[in-house]
A and B are shown apart, each in its own frame.
Chain A
Amino acid sequence: MSTAGYPLPLPQEDAVTAPWWAATRDRRLVVQHCTSCGTSQHYPRPICTTCHGHDLGFAAATGRATVHSVTVVHRAPHPDLATPYVIALVDLQEGPRLLTRLVWANADPAAAWPAWPDPATLIDRPVDLDWWPLPDGRALPVFRPV
């Protein structure tokens, strides 16, 4: 996998989100899990937004997800981002919804989306986890059509 340049500001983790980011160094996607009510949530917080419990841990996600919606960005906010690219909302099998990118086939995660297929045809379709490396060893979870 390429470690092509990443031009945007690096995400600043905090004490609550540090374990989530640490897992990305091992290319593991985890979701926060409430031991009181069993709900999974993303992003990590110090409280369960379902039952308001404080006993939360992290559990491995399967990496299987379903596309909820997509948008193809043609005008990037940074000149070093290759366009067009696909921003998506995906629903993890565990429940939480993530904002992410869709990446085509075996393409570099930083590469432009190809002329075909139209990503809108992927809504409600399954996708699998992959990773877009950050320069500091962490990585952003991205998803590829199954």
Chain B
Amino acid sequence: MTSLRDVAIVGVAESDLGVTDSSILQLQTQGITRALADAGLSLADVDGLATNGVSRFSATQVAEYLGVRPRWTDSTFAGGASSEIFLGHAVPAIAQGLADVVVISYGSNQRSAASRSLAGVVEGHVPDAQFDAPYGPLQPISAYALAAARHQHVHGSTSAQLAEIAVAARAWALLNPIAYRHDDGPLTVEQVLASPVLSSPLRRLDCCLVTDGGGAVVVTSLDRARDLPQLPIRVLGHAEATTHQSIAQMPDLLVTGAADTGRRALGMAGVGLADVDVVQVYDSFTITVLLTLESLGFCAPGEGGSFVEGGRIAPGGALPLNTSGGGLSYGHPGMFGIFLLIEAVRQLRDQAGARQVTGAEVALCHGTGGILSTHATTVLGVDR
């Protein structure tokens, strides 16, 4: 039996991105076959599959669609933390011999299908439908806006500081040829502040894009990884936490589950924040980044606003963050977690082109799902 540390990511790829007019399963197929090609593997090697967002039987459906009969599957539904959670589950499964080659995948055509609603997805039988939805909140925007308003009230952070996060994301996207906003030029704080307020204090440009897209990550044992073409990227640490479903039930609007998962994942990895060379955190909204940075401990509680000022998280800044351009400027097909892993792997392989962080050896990814509900921190490192 291999140890938890002896598992590696060996393949990553995106499907087509942007506005694709493709079906979810087409995008899934593209992402999976491209990631397997990147890994030097084929569908015949796959015996584990983790995915969701396709249908009620997501992994089952994708397996049938591709002609795979997996002996290990996972369809945990944790929104934007799902892919990090899948990876966290796949590592011990591979280490214990329950699977040999696991594919983690995602695909969404939400832009082409116009399937996104301002009210979100409300299932009539759950408590949200009785006690939250009747008031007309925008979901998830209003929930994140309530956290942002509280942060501004308690800590004096400003909308201009939130805007800095969107500005930095755009600057990274200008360096990434496949980013949705690659050709749209730089963004200014003034432009963000001039965009319409959707649910105060969040404006349109505080919100992630709505695009199609998908991707996949291929995971296997380190032994096998060392015979494959790409530099193996080891999974050094993982932790997940689920704290609430409705924003009214969140224990503390200003401290997310990242405070718990960051500490545990770094502890498992045996590294500290100072050792992290590149950071990918879910940027569903600008406030998500600010709260996550505080909760992970990159800055003190309440200091996230000043922390992101002055280009600290932009290209050339001290903390390279969301180097693909993130959900704010690279693309956002709904559950962004897979793209955090893909970009982290590219950075650690030294394959990130103009946006490459020189000498990146340790990456931290943090997925956030629901309305600050589910959290997973993944620490990745080059195989040395």
Binding site for B on A (CB under 8 A): 8-14, 17, 21, 42-43, 68-78, 81, 85, 87-89, 97-101, 120, 123-124, 134, 140, 142
Nearest CB on B from A75, distance (A): 5
Residue of B nearest to A120 (CB): B149
Interface residues of B in 120-141 (CB under 8 A from A): 122, 124-125, 127, 129-138
- For B200, the closest partner residue in chain A by CB is A72
B201, chain A: closest CB distance, angstroms = 8
CA distance A10 to B138 in the complex (A): 17
In contact, B198 and A74 (Cβ under 8 angstroms): yes
Contact B153 A69, beta carbon cutoff 8 Å: yes
Chain B contacts for A81, CB-based, 8 A:
136
For B248, the chain A residues whose CB sits under 8 A away are 42, 89, 97-99
Closest B residue to A138 by beta carbon equals B134
Q: How large is the interface on B (under 10, 10 to 19, 20 to 34, 35 or more residues)?
A: 35 or more
Q: Is there contact, CB below 8 Å, between B142 and A73?
A: yes
Q: How far is the CB of B208 from chain A (nearest CB, A)?
A: 16
Known contacts: A77-B118, A99-B246. The answer to whether A120 contacts B135 by CB under 8 A is no
Which chain A residue lies CB-closest to B152?
A120
Q: Which residues of A have CB within 8 Å of B134? A: 8, 10-11, 134, 140
Which chain A positions have C-beta within 8 A of B135? 87, 99-101, 140, 142
CB-CB under 8 A from B142, the residues of chain A are: 71, 73, 87
| B122 (CB) vs chain A CBs: closest residue | A9
Are A89 and B146 within 8 A (Cβ)? yes
Closest 5 CB pairs of A and B: A77-B119, A71-B145, A69-B150, A77-B118, A72-B200
Indicate whether B93 reaches chain A with its CB closer than 8 angstroms. no
Q: Contact between A71 and B124 (Cβ–Cβ < 8 Å)?
A: no
CB distance from B115 to the nearest CB of A (A): 15
Contact (Cβ within 8 A) B119 A71: no
B117 within 8 A of A: yes
Flag whether B310 is at the interface (Cβ < 8 A). Answer: no
- Within the complex, the shortest CB–CB distance from B290 to chain A, in Å, comes to 15
Query: With A73-B136, A85-B136, A120-B149 known to touch, is A12 a contact of B200 (CB < 8 Å)?
Result: no
Partner of A71, one of B133, B199, B246: B199
Q: Knowing A74-B199, A75-B198, A76-B136 touch, does A43 contact B146 (C-beta < 8 A)? A: no
Q: Are A13 and B130 in contact (CB under 8 A)?
A: yes
Do residues A123 and B150 form an inter-chain contact, with CB atoms below 8 A?
yes
Q: In the complex, A63→B297 CA distance in Å?
A: 38
Residue of A with least CB distance to B149: A69
Option from B152, B197, B249 in Cβ contact (under 8 Å) with A72: B197
| A8 to B146 alpha-carbon distance, docked (Å) | 21
- Per-residue CB contact flags for chain B residues 236-254 toward chain A (1 = under 8 Å, else 0) read 0000000000111100010
Cβ B136 vs Cβ A71 within 8 A: no
Report Cα–Cα, A78/B139, bound state, in Å.
13
At the interface, yes or no: B196 with Cβ under 8 Å from chain A?
Answer: yes
Q: Compute how far the CA of A99 lies from the CA of B94 in the bound complex, rounded to whole angstroms.
A: 43
Contact B136 A123 (CB under 8 A): no
B118 contact set on A, CB distance < 8 A: 75-77
Given A87-B135, A100-B135: A12 touches B124 (CB 8 Å cut-off): yes
Q: Which of A12, A70, A78, A98 has a CB less than 8 Å from the CB of B146?
A: A70
Interface residue B35 (Cβ < 8 Å from any Cβ of A): no
Contact residues of B between 141 and 162, Cβ < 8 Å to A: 142, 145-150, 152-153
Q: With A8-B134, A75-B118, A99-B247 in contact, is A70–B129 under 8 Å at CB?
A: no
Which of chain A's residues have a CB closer than 8 A to the CB of B153? 69, 120, 123-124
Given contacts A11-B134, A87-B146, 10 further A-B contacts (CB under 8 A): A9-B122, A9-B124, A11-B131, A68-B253, A69-B149, A71-B142, A74-B196, A75-B199, A89-B146, A101-B135
